[in-house]
Amino acid sequence: MGVVSRSVGNAFRNKVRSGAVVVILAVAIGLALAMLVANEAVGSRVDSLKASVGNTLTVNPAGSRGGLGGGEPLTEAELAKASAVDNVTSVTGTLVVRLRNAAEATGSTTGTGESAAPGRGGPGGGFGASGTTSLVSAVAPGSIGQRNNSNGGSAPAGGTAAPTFSIPIQATGVAASTTATGTAINVTNGNQLNNFDAASTQALVGSTLATKNSLKVGSTFTVQDRTMTVTGIFDAGDTFENNAIYLPLAATQALTDQAGQLSSLTVQVNSIDNVASTQAALTSALGASNVDVTAGSANLQSAISSLGSVANISLIAYIASLATAGLIVLLIMIMVVRERRREIGVLKAIGASNRTIGVQFVLEAMVLVVLGTVVGAVVAAFSSSPIANALVSGNTPSASTTAAGPGSTPGGGGFGGGGFARTRGALAGAEQLIGTISTSVGWQTLVMGAVGILLIAAIGALIPALLTAKVRPIEVLRGE
Q: Which residue type, as a one-letter code, is found at position 394? A: G
pLDDT digits 0-9 by tens, 395-410: 665 544 433 333 333 3
Tally of CB atoms within 10 A around 455: 12
Q: What is the band of 213 on the pLDDT scale with cuts at 50, 70, 90?
A: very high
* Residue-level pLDDT at 211: 94
The per-residue pLDDT for range 78-114, each reduced to its tens digit, is: 999 999 999 999 898 899 898 988 887 776 544 434 4
Q: Where is pLDDT greater, at 397 or 16?
A: 16
Q: How far apart are CA 415 and CA 435, in angstroms?
A: 25
Please report, to the nearest 10 degrees, the dihedral formed by the alpha carbons of residues 344, 350, 354, 360 taken in order.
Answer: -60
Q: Kindly report the length of the chain.
A: 480
Distance (Å, whole) CA 392 – CA 53: 19
Distance CA 402, CA 390 (A): 19
DSSP label at residue 55: T
Q: Which of 132-146, 312-326, 392-406 has the lowest mean pLDDT?
A: 392-406
Q: Which residues have CB under 8 Å from 382's CB, separation 6+?
A: none
Q: Where are the beta strands (DSSP E) in 112-237?
A: 131-133, 169-174, 187-190, 202-206, 220-223, 226-234
Tell me the pLDDT tens digit for each residue of 268-309.
Answer: 888 777 888 999 999 999 999 999 998 765 566 677 777 888
Please give the Cα distance from 408 to 298 (Å, whole number).
Answer: 10
Q: What was the pLDDT predicted at 477?
A: 58
Mean pLDDT of the region 222-226: 93
Whole-number Å distance between alpha carbons of 136 and 120 = 19
* pLDDT digits 0-9 by tens, 414-455: 333 444 334 333 334 555 556 666 666 667 777 777 788 878
Check if the beta carbon of residue 413 is closer than 8 Å to that of residue 292.
no
Mean pLDDT within 6-20? 74
The whole model's pTM is what?
A: 0.55
Cα separation, 90 vs 459, whole angstroms: 54
Q: Which of 46-55, 138-147, 166-175, 345-354 has the lowest mean pLDDT?
A: 46-55
Query: How far, in Å, CA of 38 to CA of 385, rounded?
Result: 7
Measure the CA–CA gap between 181 and 209, rounded to whole angstroms. 23
Is pLDDT of 144 > 60?
Answer: yes
